Amino acid sequence: MKNLKTIAIALFVAAASISVNAQTKKIDAKASSIKWVGKKVTGEHSGTVNFKDGAVVLKGKKLVGGTFTVDMTSLTSTDLTGEYQGKLNGHLKADDFFGTDKFPTATLVIKKIGTKAKNVYTATADLTIKGITKPINFDLAVKGNTATTAFKVDRTKYDIKYGSGNFFQGLGDKTINDEFELAVALKF
């Protein structure tokens, strides 16, 4: 019985020290940014989408996790203005693409972190877009209270097939690449 109490106390102290060592830091959603680029046969469009909230989890100075929510209703193109920008933004928010009326947020939850180099991590995360969750891998560089990453997302995995040459025939120069690019800068 005495050994059982000793083991229970040791486990409690170990669990308490683990939670004390891990620190959750909220991101500054206004100072953090997400830039996107979508390419097609005849060119590309670029823009931004805003964070709603998010947090990184650190043990000391080492990144060990994170959870982020993106406000998909903030999706906008920055390479167009006026009527053309309004048309593209409307189309991107429609059900053909991100369906922001039904799915106003997207989430990314880091599930696993590995060290690639000093202050550079490999992350495996669950990305949820349009209610569909798929794993995604990317590198993340951390310096002080900032983190940056760039990666590609295959939109067809999230039921965004509009203009995809893999799903529709005869699109010609109207074909849109299945992958879009994201460049993310976090401030925390």
pLDDT (tens digit, 9 = 90+) per residue, 107-119? Answer: 999 999 999 999 9
Q: What is the mean pLDDT of residues 49-72?
A: 96
* In contact, 79 and 111? CB cutoff 8 Å: no
pLDDT grade, residue 16 (50/70/90)?
Answer: very low
3 pLDDT more than 80: no
Number of alpha carbons in the 13 Å side-chain half-sphere of residue 127: 15
Beta strands in the chain (DSSP E): 22-26, 33-40, 43-59, 62-77, 105-117, 120-129, 132-143, 146-154, 176-187
55 pLDDT more than 90: yes
Residue 34: which of 119, 159, 151, 161 has the closest Cα?
151
pLDDT for residue 8: 44
pLDDT for residue 160: 97
pLDDT for residue 7: 46
More confident residue, 170 or 7: 170
pLDDT grade, residue 53 (50/70/90)?
Answer: very high
105 pLDDT more than 90: yes
Mean pLDDT, the chain, integer: 91
Nearest-angstrom CA–CA distance, 55 and 34: 15
If you search the block for the tokens 């849109």, which residue do you land on?
A: 176
pLDDT for residue 1: 52
Q: What is the mean pLDDT of residues 79-100?
A: 98
61 pLDDT more than 90: no
Q: What is the share, in percent, of the chain residues with pLDDT greater than 90?
A: 80
Q: What is the mean pLDDT of residues 85-95?
A: 98
